[in-house]
């Protein structure tokens, strides 16, 4: 675990996980306090039957062997029954209160994190895996629900039990009580050894390991087709395998190397209080004047010692629950701290569709070097500008700043002369359409997938967009045409077909600005021809006016006819101009074009041809 993570975990414990957790419950946190109080009262009332047992033993021993003379025994029995029933009823009333508060807390926690993620910058989801976010939103809320509903009232009851137990230890015979207390002290020492210090560090690393397994597990499931095609084993997915190994090693080391001995000692001691109680009774019995009373006291402690294992077990689980809750609420707060796309108080509307980067600098969180370093270029309204360059040069980062997937650190990105941060986010999204290199259609019909761009669009408009995106051949071969279900449980489309489907969605949206990110990356030659035709249609608006297009491509043939080409390398603009101008300049683009032409002419030859 890194120093920063350790600091966060320490701060979380310092601020009080329970108080931060109860803040999610709102007014219902009062029910938590009431439930804890009722649980404590229930635990104190539950001691009543033990006192009644002592009274029965006292009266029986006092009249022995004339047992019939003990006339108050029946009354004590009814009192014991009544107190036991009252304890159960009070406890269930307390649980009712804490469950109402816990359900509200978990519900608000899920709603708040989900709502926050709905407003988070889209770039946040590129750096945070869906499996990890699901673990935080759903799993952490479930863990805190168990804490508030059960562990917290049980904690209050445990505290009351321990206080009441300590009092009763010294009410009847302090010497026998002290013998029982020795077992409690040893058990507590073992628990503090397991749960304190390294135990707290273990719980933080344990929760991190669970999150990592969720994240890598999701990636593994999505990659199962590759495993089947290439007959690979789980070892080919090193991240998932290593996450499982790390979790296994962590849990085994903690259980075997750290907890085995103290846990065994603790369980032995608290379940064998007699090893302290019997020798103490033998030592002090000869000096007792009222032996009958001493015998009654011994019977009480022998029976009451059965409470000790229950109390110590609750304390152990209480410590574990608080550690889990502290980590869970910290992870939820990390999600709630995710950057959001905030709307300005007085949003401005752009005058046109020109895009301009003005001395833009942007660095990803945790990165050592900026992804973009003082980048400046312009995409005139109605023009097509291509971003090219080596991998990692900053092309995708630059394109993602236009729709505010991220906000710049310095400089500004403008649309129609207005800083995109000064625009209403909904207005900005309405003006920009996207086609990414990796798309996954929704588990809906083709028609509904396209209509996702504009839900109010008619069926005819969606079909026209599919036609414009060269999707006619896709619809012809499907059993139900545009009404065919795609995705899990439905028809599966190839990468190139999915790209054309996404272009149809962008055409239907009819946004004046289009961002294309490696849209032909997974297309075969036949699909690429159709995708290029769909691009030409996408570049024209519904009224025939050209759209403003910012496109990213590694296949330089797709950008040859762009109005302008911007070459990015290591986060900086190294060249700008048309295809012919950049070739004449003899710089990085010219070298990339030469490499591209060489790769196009490359082919596999037989041994005879080589000879």
pLDDT at 18: 74
Q: pLDDT: is 219 or 387 the higher one?
A: 387
Exposed e or buried b per residue across 293-331, where buried means at least 16 C-beta atoms within 10 angstroms of its C-beta: bbbbbbbbbbebbebbbbbbbbbbebbbbbbbbbbbbbb
* DSSP code at position 150: I
Tell me, letter by letter, the H, E, C secondary structure of 386-449. Answer: EEECCCCCCHHHHHHHCCCCCCCCEEEEEECCEEHHHCCHHHHHHHEEEECCCCCCCCCEHHHH
Matching residue, tokens 């259980």: 255
> DSSP 3-state assignment of 486?
strand
The helix (run of H) or strand (run of E) holding residue 450 is helix 446-451
Burial class, 79, CB count within 10 angstroms (exposed 0-12 / middle 13-18 / buried 19+): middle
Show contacts of 111-116: CB within 8 Å, 24+ apart.
112/24, 112/336, 113/137, 113/141, 113/332, 113/335, 113/336, 116/335, 116/336, 116/338, 116/340
511 Rama sector, left if φ>0, alpha if ψ -120 to 50, beta otherwise: beta
Is 70 exceeded by the pLDDT of residue 39? yes
Given this model, what pLDDT does residue 506 score?
85
For the chain, give the percent of residues with pLDDT over 70. Answer: 81
**Whether residue 13 has pLDDT greater than 60:** no
Measure the CA–CA gap between 33 and 376, rounded to whole angstroms.
Answer: 58
Rounded to an integer, what distance in angstroms lies between the CA atom of residue 106 and that of residue 111?
9
Q: Give yes or no for residue 362 having a pLDDT over 90.
A: yes
Q: What is the pLDDT of residue 520?
A: 55
Rounded alpha-carbon distances, angstroms, from residue 79 to 38, 49, 73, 479, 515 = 20, 7, 10, 76, 79
How confident is the model over 166-191, as a mean pLDDT? Answer: 77
More confident residue, 61 or 484: 484
pLDDT band at 497 (very low <50, low <70, confident <90, very high): confident
Containing 373, the helix (H) or strand (E) segment is strand 372-379
pLDDT in tens, 198-219: 556 666 676 677 777 777 776 6
- Is the previous residue joined to 472 through a cis bond, with omega within 30 degrees of 0? no
Of the candidate ranges 86-90, 395-399, 438-442, 551-555, the one whose mean pLDDT is the lowest: 438-442
Predicted confidence (pLDDT) at residue 512 exceeds the cutoff of 80 = yes
State the pLDDT at residue 423. Answer: 92
Classify the C-alpha dihedral 134-137-138-143 as positive or negative: positive
Buried b (16+ CB within 10 A) or exposed e, 249-286: eeeeebeeeebeebbeebbebbeebeebbeebbeeeee
d(CA 561, CA 573): 20
* pLDDT, mean of residues 261-284: 78
| Top-confidence residue, 163 or 490 | 163
pLDDT score, position 91: 92
- Give the pLDDT of residue 329: 79
Higher pLDDT, 308 or 75: 75
- Please tell me which residue, 475 or 330, carries the higher pLDDT value: 475
Tens-place pLDDT, residues 321-339: 676 677 777 778 878 877 7
How many Cβ atoms sit within 10 Å of the Cβ of residue 427? 15
**pLDDT given at position 7:** 40
Per-residue DSSP letter, 512: S
Q: What is the average per-residue pLDDT within 239-250?
A: 78
What integer pLDDT is reported at residue 564 of this predicted model?
93
Residues 6+ apart with CB under 8 A from 231: none
pLDDT, the chain, mean: 78
Reply yes or no on whether the pLDDT at 135 is more than 80: no
pLDDT given at position 342: 77
Q: How far is CA 279 from CA 138, 175, 177, 240, 284, in A?
A: 53, 11, 13, 56, 9
Q: Locate tokens 């004046």: which residue?
A: 512
Q: Taking 80 as the threshold, does the pLDDT of residue 466 lie above it?
A: yes
Name the residue with higher pLDDT: 2 or 26: 26
2: pLDDT strictly greater than 50? no
pLDDT above 90: percentage of residues in the chain: 14
Q: What's the Cα-to-Cα distance from 459 to each of 52, 87, 598, rounded to whole Å?
A: 79, 65, 46
More confident residue, 208 or 410: 410
Q: What is the average pLDDT across 119-131?
A: 70
Domains (ranges, CATH) in the chain? 18-336 (1.20.1560.10), 355-609 (3.40.50.300)
Closest CA to 25 of 94, 117, 138, 110: 110
Q: Are 469 and 504 in contact (CB under 8 A)?
A: yes
Q: How many CB atoms lie within 10 A of CB 292?
A: 15
Query: What is the pLDDT confidence band of residue 38, given thresholds at 50, 70 and 90?
Result: very high
């Amino acid at each position: 675990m890194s120093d920063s993570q350790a600091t966060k975990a320490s701060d979380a414990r310092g601020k009080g996980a329970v108080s931060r957790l109860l803040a999610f419950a709102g007014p219902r946190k009062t029910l938590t306090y009431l439930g804890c109080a009722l649980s404590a009262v229930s635990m104190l009332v539950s001691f009543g039957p033990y006192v009644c047992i002592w009274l029965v033993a006292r009266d029986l021993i006092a009249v022995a062997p004339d047992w019939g003379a003990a006339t108050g025994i029946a009354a004590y029995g009814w009192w014991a029954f009544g107190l036991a029933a009252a304890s159960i009823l009070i406890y269930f009333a307390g649980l009712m209160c804490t469950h109402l508060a816990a359900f509200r807390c978990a519900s608000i926690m899920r709603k708040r994190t989900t709502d926050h993620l709905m407003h988070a910058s889209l770039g946040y989801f590129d750096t945070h895996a869906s499996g990890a976010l699901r673990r935080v939103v759903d799993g952490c809320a479930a863990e805190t629900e168990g804490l508030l509903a059960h562990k917290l009232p049980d904690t209050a009851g445990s505290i009351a039990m321990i206080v009441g137990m300590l009092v009763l230890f010294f009410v009847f015979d302090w010497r026998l009580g002290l013998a029982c207390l020795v077992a409690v002290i040893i058990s507590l020492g073992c628990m503090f050894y397991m749960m304190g210090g390294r135990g707290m560090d273990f719980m933080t690393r344990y929760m991190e390991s669970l999150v990592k397994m969720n994240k890598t597990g999701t990636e593994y499931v999505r990659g199962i087709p590759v495993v089947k095609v290439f007959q690979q084993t789980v070892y080919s997915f090193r991240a998932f395998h290593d996450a499982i190994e790390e979790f296994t090693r962590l849990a085994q080391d903690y259980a075997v190397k750290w907890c085995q001995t103290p846990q065994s000692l603790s369980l032995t001691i608290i379940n064998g209080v007699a090893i302290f109680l019997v020798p103490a009774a033998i030592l002090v019995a000869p000096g007792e004047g009222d032996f009958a009373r001493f015998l009654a006291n011994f019977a009480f402690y022998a029976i009451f010692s059965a409470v000790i294992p229950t109390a110590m077990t609750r304390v152990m689980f209480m410590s574990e629950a608080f550690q889990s809750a502290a980590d869970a609420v910290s992870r939820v707060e990390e999600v709630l701290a995710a950057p959001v796309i905030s709307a300005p108080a007085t949003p401005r509307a752009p005058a046109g569709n020109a895009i301009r980067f003005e001395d833009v600098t942007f660095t990803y969180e945790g990165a050592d070097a900026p992804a973009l370093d003082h980048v400046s270029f312009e995409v005139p309204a109605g023009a097509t500008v291509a971003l090219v360059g080596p991998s990692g040069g900053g092309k995708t980062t630059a394109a993602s700043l236009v729709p505010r997937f991220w906000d710049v650190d310095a400089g500004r990105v403008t649309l129609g002369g207005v800083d995109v941060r000064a625009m209403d986010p909904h207005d900005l999204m309405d003006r920009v359409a996207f086609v990414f290199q990796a798309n996954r259609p929704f588990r809906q019909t083709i028609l509904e997938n396209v209509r996702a761009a504009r839900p109010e669009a008619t069926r005819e408009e969606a079909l026209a967009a599919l036609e414009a995106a060269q999707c006619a051949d896709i619809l012809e071969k499907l059993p139900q045409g545009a009404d065919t279900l795609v995705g899990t449980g439905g028809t599966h489309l190839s990468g190139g077909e999915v790209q054309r489907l996404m272009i149809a969605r962008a055409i239907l949206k009819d946004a004046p600005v289009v961002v294309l990110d490696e849209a032909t990356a997974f297309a075969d030659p036949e699909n690429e021809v159709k995708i290029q035709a769909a691009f030409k249609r996408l570049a024209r608006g519904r009224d025939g006016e050209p759209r403003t297009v910012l496109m990213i491509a590694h296949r330089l043939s797709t950008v040859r006819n762009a109005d302008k080409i911007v070459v990015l390398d290591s986060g900086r603009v190294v060249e700008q101009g048309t295809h012919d101008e950049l070739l004449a300049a003899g710089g990085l683009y010219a070298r990339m074009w030469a490499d591209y032409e060489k790769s196009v002419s490359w082919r596999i030859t037989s041994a005879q041809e080589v000879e």
